[in-house]
Amino acid sequence: MAIDLMSIEPHKVSRDLSGYIIYIYGAGKTGKTTLATQGGGALLLGFEKGYNALPGIYAVDITSWKDVRDVVKELKKDEVKAKFKSVVFDTVDIAGTLCEKWVCAQAGATTIAEAGNYGSGWTKLKREFEDTVRTITQLGYAVFFISHDKDKEFTRKDGTKYNQIVPTCSSSFNNIAKNAADIYAYAEKYTDDSGFAKVRLVLRSVDDSVDTGSRFKYIIPSVDMSYEALKQAINDAIDKEAAENNNQFVTDEREKGAVQKSYDFEGLISEFNETTMKMMEEDPAFYQPRIIDIVTRILGPGKKVNEATIQQVELIAEIIDELKSIKK
């Protein structure tokens, strides 16, 4: 059950977009949802009915945060992993609202400010949303966040004002979403040299007129509004950085999902009892104080393993690991 650091291999950055979080915002009818679902194997979480004109799309209507949690349970199934490669939150604004309602309900509060003292309500909201998205990416899926845009005025420290295009999310929740993203991009309408109206995806704003960001060092400023163009831009950025490392740490394989540990609560309780019984039979004077010390440090003073709850299963596993590490 313990982690073996000597078995860890160097991480390889995947050219496949699976496992990445991509946040795209922009005006309506700019192709945000279309782009997010172009890669194949996309599951759209329809927080709003923005997919009605998209033929062949796999979509599930979401009306509560419980719906999201139910989807995550389904995403863990092998047959679902084989069918889908990405999960699209359309829109992340509404997802945030539903997540906030969930956290408030847990706390018996009507607002997130009332859900905990000294800002702990926002901390709970951040944890709930991030844990949910992290679980999805660790299962090997790409995640797309979709939002609309607005022009917002900001004030610098020196008092001067400036305007920037940002998502319509509340700023607090938007910070949670964009900080989680590997690509944070803006779908921008523009007119080309021939006078045709087009849309491009701004990946890196050169003048800070729009809010963007990327974890990829060499990402280009903008691409055509398509999944393939976005994928190529990310691949080029990955390859350029990989060249600095002799191309050792890149792969075309899909990002593998993290293997989630599962614990047998009853089995661990039995293992603890068997392990401590053998220790006490062998040398009670030596082992008893050490057993008590380990249990006290991990469960707390006066707590007993046999009185632990199933929610404490990871603590029981840790106690057993520490017992096995005792050396005479």
pLDDT-based confidence at residue 147 (cuts at 50, 70, 90): very high
Between the two ends of the chain, the Cα-to-Cα distance in Å is: 22
Average pLDDT over residues 73-80: 94
> What is the spatial distance between Cα 177 and Cα 171, in angstroms, rounded to a whole number?
10
- Please report the domains of the chain, with CATH numbers, ordered by start residue: 5-251 (3.40.50), 265-324 (no CATH)
Average pLDDT over residues 129-138: 91
Q: What is the pLDDT of residue 252?
A: 45
Contact of 228 with 15, CB cutoff 8 Å: no
**Mean pLDDT over the full length of the chain:** 87
> What is the spatial distance between Cα 272 and Cα 307, in angstroms, rounded to a whole number?
12
Q: What is the pLDDT of residue 164?
A: 94
Distances (CA, A) of 313 to 138, 306, 324: 21, 11, 17
* Helices assigned H by DSSP within the chain: 32-36, 65-75, 78-83, 92-107, 120-138, 171-180, 227-242, 265-282, 284-299, 313-324
The predicted model scores a pTM of 0.73
Q: What is the pLDDT of residue 282?
A: 93
Q: What is the pLDDT of residue 259?
A: 47
Q: Is the pLDDT of residue 256 over 70?
A: no
Average pLDDT over residues 306-327: 90
Distances (CA, A) of 299 to 160, 271, 309, 319: 54, 17, 11, 9
Look at 47-56, 95-104, 129-138, 318-327 and tell me which has the smallest mean pLDDT.
Answer: 47-56
Tell me if the bond preceding 168 is cis, omega within 30° of 0: no
Q: What is the pLDDT of residue 7?
A: 66
pLDDT in tens, 9-51: 554 555 566 678 999 999 988 999 999 998 889 999 999 877 7
Q: What is the pLDDT of residue 2?
A: 64
Q: What is the DSSP string of 121-167?
A: HHHHHHHHHHHHHHHHHHTT-EEEEEE-EEEEEEE-TTS-EEEEEEE
pLDDT in tens, 235-247: 899 888 888 766 5
pLDDT in tens, 192-201: 888 899 999 9
Pairing of strands 197-202, 222-224: antiparallel
Q: What is the pLDDT of residue 261?
A: 64
Share of the chain above pLDDT 70, in %: 88
pLDDT-based confidence at residue 281 (cuts at 50, 70, 90): very high
